[in-house]
Chain A
Amino acid sequence: MSEQQKHSAQLHEQFDRVWGNLPGFGQLAAVNHTSVGLRFVVTGLFFFLVGGVLAMLMRTQLALPEQEIIGPELYSQLFTMHGTLMMFLFAIPILEGVAMYLIPKMVGARDLAFPRLGAMGYYCYLFGGLIILSSLALSIAPDSGWFMYTPLSSSTFSPGPGSDFWLLGITFVEISSMTGAIELVISILRTRSNGMSLRRMPIFCWYILAMALMIVFGFPPLILGSILLELERAAGLVFFEVAGGGDPLLWQHLFWLFGHPEVYIIFLPAAGIVSTLIPVFARRPIVGYRWIVLAVIVMGFISFGLWVHHMFTVGIPQLAQAFFSMASMLVAIPTAIQVFAWLATLWTGRVVWNLPMLWILGFLIIFVAGGLTGVMLALVPFNWQVHDTHFVVAHMHYVLVGGMLFPLIAGLYYWLPHVSGRMPSDMLGRWAFWLVFIGFNMTFLLMHLTGLLGMPRRVYTYEAGLGWDWLNLLSSIGGFVMAIGIAMFLLDIFLHFRFGRRAPRNPWGADSLEWAVAMPVTTYNFISLPDIRSRHPLWHNPQLPFEIEEGKHAMAVIRHGRRETWGSDAVTGRVREVVHLPSHSWIPLQAGVVLAIVCLSLLLKTYWLALGATLVAAFIMLRWSWVNGAHPDMAPVRDDDPSDPPLHSRTHDGPGRWGMLVTLMANGSFYASLLFGWFYLWTASPQWQAPEQGPLALMPLLASGVLLSLAVVVYQWLTQRLRRGVTRHLQGGLWISAGIGLIHVAVLVWLMLAAELTPTQSAHDSVLAVMLGYLLFHGALSAVATAMQAVRVRFGYVSAQLPYEPLVLQPFWSYTLGVFWLSFAAFILLPMAW
């Protein structure tokens, strides 16, 4: 072993000691992105298999007419669970898992910005998924379809616990999507290696940035809808029942406000895989990088303007339908920009048709076909004709399987050597591809025809002689061929860990930084962090992986024992601070378990247990918040603390503050959805009734708002002084701000009790109650978090040298104040003025 190799080995040992997971059961406390990302991927594949088995059961039932293998009740559960598993428990989590695994490696970071958040997200996903799946094992699974339309999913027509499993389970799982999205946004924007400006960022990062921001804005409407529907089912509040002034169409709006962007949330990361792989195998940079960035951003926005095309048959005026029809066709433009960029890259490159490229080819064919039927469905008259037929099922699968599964498998094959250090079998992989490709087209190409011949979706059987028999039989055979192909793919993955030939470093000749990481992958990614001067660092300097490993670049010292990575400017990528990251922790698992208890106790309607578990969860979250910044378990102040750049917890604007802002964007989307619900019911609900006199006393409400404003003014004054390094009266001031905030909360509680709302009888009072609950939650959280900051001042974790945390909390106070006065205007003043 040469001197250089010995030095590299020593560095590896030192880094592994700090970054390595705990042994045995201690693995459950792992927070690093490689472990968490891989767990998401493996768990996602498990749910994919279960969802696939459900699909095979349905195809068995439909293979021949008038079969009675599966009855209508079970069939309804199967199609509901198939859609739910594939959309919520497979597609989004596995793609987020891939992104969580790859993003830090691609941007030259050692971990994601908020490792504990990612770990907690995983446990929420795992437990939530198992809770939903358990309903199937107990034969009480949801059976109203994966989009849970009311009134079918309401308590009148679905009195069993199936809908509750869906609503509570999916909301629980969505915590993980949201936490993953927030940390991906911040990691991409704020932890890139030095010099990686926006224009040098790997194209995959643009896709993930767009996807994550879409989750931030797109998921809250469904979270709100699920909460409202569960409140209606469990507590008798009125939101979707016409009799009390609700409207079932509100559910459709809230669902599809999420549901249509969801398609692009799934497509974008998969397209990111395509845009990453094609240049590598075409042996040239991608054509039109800037055009693709532009297309991704356009897609991220326009896809939010299409939701009503799922509702063309519900009685919306023609002109409004036409707006959505045009927007639906418009989204073909950014899609086409990408397709042409991919084709141009292939056309002008020297393409190597390796195994991953075969799957990319399948993607191009199937996805373009699915896109074309999408444009057909955007046309209102055609949409009416094929509404709720198998044509829609076929289109959806062309888009989702073509647009997501094929690129995903291409990506899994491509990055497999990264994880295992071994190459997959070319022969098994090609067999798998052809079986899946042929089986898929046999199933779904024919299904277009079945739909055009009028076969409705969601029927458990059909009469013979309607012209659907042979089509269904062939679709079923195709389904099983596809299943064999998937089994072969999984067999290939499984076998390659033992029999695959050893992969050389950077086996595909890629250009991006993740291939500079040792293979199999290490826990810390990079011993030293390089300066980035090119969009293709490994093509620019093929020796870079070895230089990194030998510690020739920045931050190759770890004697301090902290987990560290760069914090950089969002636009230029210039280093601004050293981000210190938490080590392994049991808190994410504890939080996940307790939240699962909350979910289960709500399902079992043991509300006292739910309340108790919620309080425990709140305590765990506060404990989480406590172990931060200069806490001895994180980064206590030391004489050798770096000062240029400083540790992020010693600055005014670290990733945590950015994380708070992105969280508030999601929160704002949730609140905007609530406002939408209020105005929608007010203007569109057929039996909406508002009392002559508003139920809330005006003056106490105003007083409550003034108190809140006062608390915020005090807080702002303190943080302004803190920015200037003045800490006189800081602790006392924080106590005062928290105290005034608590009085504001007390007044709100009193108002709520005194108002004598009747939420079980009127939608008006139900929405008002939810709004008050929302304001209460924010007021209370602001006050408690501020009180904790006051205690932290006393412990020396917040000071002139450590001003960070109160500044992170500051936007939350401002938001709380903003939503209070906005609510006052929208829920109180406007009805008075009307």
Chain B
Amino acid sequence: MTFPPWHPIHLITGLTVWAIWFVVLYGGLSVACEVVPPDPTRGPLNWLNALLWLSTLVVVGVLGWAAWHCARGTPENTQPNRRFVARTSAGLYFLSAFATLVVAVPVWFLPPCI
């Protein structure tokens, strides 16, 4: 099912995706460190950090696309109520993508399980 850019569900979808990703990031890291911790001598260059980055890039890509979709779908002549929801949603998707990227920055330079 697809929702038009002015559907109110977009007001919460971006940040919900961010929240789920955040839980998976923290939970996944904790479980992986408990079960199969990567070699600590390799620093941040290991399979777990790579996986965390991959998840980040996928989520940022999806959220960025959604932001573009909502922004593009509301030209100036769109009905005002619809434009309000769609443009706010576009901003929220963009900020969700930004939040995803910012939270993942430490994955570049910190080992996962120490």
Contact = CB atoms under 8 A, between A and B. Distances in A.
Interface stretch (A297-305, A447-455, A464-472, A795-803): A297-305
Contact of A570 (B8, B105, B114): B8
B31 interface: yes
A297 B19 contact: no
Contact of A197 (B26, B34, B81, B110): B81
Contacts of A198: 8, 81, 84-85
B55 interface: no
Chain A interface mostly helix, strand, loop or mixed? helix
Contacts, number: 95
Nearest to A680: B30
A323 B114 contact: no
A249 to B, nearest CB: 12
Nearest to A322: B106
A308 B30 CA distance: 13
B92 A297 contact: yes
Contacts of B112: 317, 319
Interface stretch (B58-66, B68-76, B95-103): B95-103
B88 A294 contact: yes
A317 B111 CA distance: 9
Nearest to B44: A319
Which residue, B33, B84, B104, has most C-beta atoms of chain A within 10 A?
A: B84
B57 interface: no
Interface in B1-40: 8, 11-12, 15-16, 18-19, 22, 25-27, 29-31, 33-35
Contacts of A199: 80-81, 84-85
B22 A323 contact: yes
Given A317-B112, A326-B102, A297 B15 contact: yes
Nearest to A572: B81
B29 A317 contact: yes
A393 interface: no
Contacts of B15: 297-298, 300-302
Contacts of A333: 95
A498 B107 CA distance: 64
Contacts of B88: 290, 293-294, 297
A330 interface: yes
Which residue, A323, A326, A683, has most C-beta atoms of chain B within 10 A?
A: A323
Nearest to B83: A199
Contacts of B45: none
B87 A290 contact: yes
B25 A323 contact: yes
A300 B34 CA distance: 31
Contacts of B91: 290-291, 294
A379 to B, nearest CB: 12
A320 interface: yes
Contacts of A300: 15
A319 B106 contact: yes
Interface residues of B, number: 38
A333 B112 CA distance: 27
A320 B30 CA distance: 8
A327 interface: yes
A684 B106 contact: no
A318 interface: yes
Nearest to A302: B99
A683 B33 CA distance: 10
Contacts of A611: none
Nearest to B95: A298
A571 interface: yes
B19 A305 contact: yes
A686 to B, nearest CB: 11
A290 B84 contact: yes
A319 B111 contact: yes
A322 B110 CA distance: 9
A327 B103 contact: yes
Contacts of B111: 318-319
Given A290-B88, A294-B92, A318-B111, A326 B8 contact: no
Given A290-B84, A330-B103, A301 B26 contact: no
Nearest to A298: B95
B92 A326 contact: no
Contacts of B25: 323
Contacts of A298: 15, 92, 95, 99
A221 to B, nearest CB: 13
Interface in A603-661: none
B81 A317 contact: no
Contacts of B102: 326, 330
22 contacts: A197-B81, A198-B81, A199-B81, A290-B84, A290-B87, A290-B91, A293-B88, A297-B12, A301-B16, A301-B18, A318-B111, A320-B26, A320-B30, A323-B22, A323-B25, A323-B26, A326-B102, A327-B103, A330-B103, A333-B95, A572-B81, A683-B31
Query: Which 5 pairs from chain A and chain B are nearest by CB?
Result: A322-B106, A301-B15, A199-B84, A319-B110, A197-B81
Interface of B: 8, 11-12, 15-16, 18-19, 22, 25-27, 29-31, 33-35, 80-81, 84-85, 87-88, 91-92, 95, 99, 102-107, 110-114
Given A323-B103, A684-B30, 5 more contacts: A197-B81, A199-B85, A294-B95, A300-B15, A323-B25
